[in-house]
A and B are shown apart, each in its own frame.
Chain A
């Protein structure tokens, strides 16, 4: 970890206009939770539905995409990464710092709002709120690693990430059960499933499969980012 890189990255992330998205999405989740609570519609089924569909399946991948690609992608595109790369700093320190910043952002803007929304709607009933929070957190770590790697590897990281989150995880998952099992979202849901007694939360993947896959994806993503950053060729101006 490098405090200077973290400071610059935080300032870049929270100073940009896209940072508004970081605030807007979780705000919608919390407003939705408040609305459901006030109107008395927030029974256990509705609460888990909102936390799963909106929190885990929409808010989390989108926020992880913004944070994961945002911590390093624009810097590579604009060439400022040169100022970090021309320092005697091991490349893995740069990647790990960027990843840590992304995870902190995902925690603040996805995991904490999920906890708040859950507590608002269902209190501690069947441990739903903390279970989803942990699910969002572990999913967020894996997503962040994947999206940071994607941003180092490709200039079209945001597009590819969106396609993965929307087409693969959401759309294909509805039609092909096989595709559904091969998604970070399902692995995260599997962790949530184990932690809550609510029967409305059902994952298609076993915890014994989900946890190793989450760990593997996180490790591979991080490693790939380090390897590719080591030989990052800065686009020539010519």
Chain B
């Protein structure tokens, strides 16, 4: 059982702050690191993987500092986001080389085990340069697993995978977690994180926005006020009816239509058609106007 610990970690590049005062503890099981592109997820993973020094704060694995400490790689496996492996080697040669670099007692057996784990036996003797994206992802996974590490870091592992490859990798990650490993993966896609992670850490604009199990995060995300744009036959009458009903916090009359800030997403979507019917107004268009992931995240930061 291993534990990754970040204490008040910041990282800046010149004047740009990429990660700002993040503290989190990552224990056994699958943790999803969720955030929009450019939020600082890769910077965080690079610091956890020992490829970047924190500008301030500390990153440690079971109490040992990670930066400039090659020995932690005995218990840490890292799957980088970059696709390039040694393209001129076959999958088997690559994994065997990794096993030897780890100075494992029986590199041949370890390599065969890792390759079997990611179900790549059938292609292990082809060169990596000819692999598909999903195969490359799996062979990279095998390279990180060859020394059977208790901690696994995956940077955007599902990027560019087709749905079938995605499901296979999710299965594999779940199996790894069931064996008691500490697994962290980053993603900017909520559904991926929700399906796989029992615990979620949300990063927005370099800051730690939320932490907890996915139901709590999900609720935070759906409970926020939603903005809708409504066009109808008689905007003024509809506005009066919505205000009277109480399911919206504010209604604004604009030249594009009604801008409605709903308090309760589900109640509002359920009530709106009834309110419109009761007041004899025909609805032309109802569209959510701020459903982008960024606006969801920025709401969480505000909390």
B42 within 8 A of A: yes
Contact flag A86-B76 (CB < 8 Å), given A12-B86, A236-B43, A237-B81: yes
Min CB distance A115 to B, Å, is 31
Residues of chain B with a CB closer than 8 A to A12's CB: 86, 88
A90 touches B97 (CB 8 A): no
Stretch at the interface among A2-10, A20-28, A196-204: A2-10
B interface residues with partner A (beta carbon < 8 Å)? 18, 37-38, 40-43, 46, 49-53, 68, 70-71, 73-74, 76-78, 80-82, 84-86, 88-89, 97-98, 100-103, 143-144, 155
Q: Which of B42, B49, B77, B84 contacts A78 (CB 8 A)?
A: B84
Does the CB pair B52–A233 fall under 8 Å?
Answer: yes
Do the beta carbons of B82 and A79 come within 8 Å of each other? yes
Complex CA distance for A238 and B38, rounded to whole angstroms = 5
A selection of 5 A-B contacts at a CB cut-off of 8 Å is: A4-B101, A80-B86, A86-B50, A88-B103, A238-B42
Least CB distance from A82 to B in Å reads 5
The count of chain A contact residues (Cβ–Cβ below 8 Å) is 30
What B residues does A4 contact at CB under 8 A? 97, 100-101
Given the known inter-chain contacts A83-B86, A236-B43, please indicate yes or no for A90 contacting B70, CB distance below 8 A.
yes
| Contact indicator A88/B42 (Cβ below 8 Å) | no
Number of A-B contacts (CB under 8 A): 87
A86 to B97, CA, bound (A): 13
Assess whether A236 is in contact with B18, with CB atoms less than 8 Å apart: yes
The reply to whether A80 and B101 contact each other, CB–CB distance below 8 Å, is no
Question: Is A40 on the interface with B (CB-CB < 8 A)?
Answer: no
Which 10 A-B pairs give the minimum distances between C-beta atoms? A79-B82, A87-B101, A234-B51, A4-B100, A78-B84, A15-B88, A86-B73, A237-B42, A88-B73, A233-B52
Tell me, rounded to whole Å, the shortest Cβ–Cβ distance linking A112 to chain B. 25
The verdict on A5 contacting B101 (CB below 8 Å), with A88-B70, A91-B70, A238-B38 known, is: yes
C-alpha spacing A86/B48, complex, angstroms: 12
Cα of A55 to Cα of B80 in the assembled complex, Å: 43
Which of B41, B43, B74, B88 counts the most A-chain CB atoms under 10 A from its CB? Answer: B88
Cβ-closest chain A residue relative to B75: A88
Cβ–Cβ < 8 Å partners of B98 in chain A: 83, 87
Which residues of A lie under 8 Å from residue B85 when comparing CB positions? 80, 83
Say whether A155 faces chain B, with CB atoms less than 8 Å apart: no
Chain A residues with CB under 8 Å of B71's CB are 88
Q: How far apart are the CA atoms of A233 and B82 in the complex, in Å? A: 15
* Across-interface contacts of A82 in B (CB, < 8 A): 51, 78, 80, 82
| A32–chain B nearest beta-carbon distance, Å | 33
In the complex, the chain B residue whose C-beta lies closest to that of A90 is B70
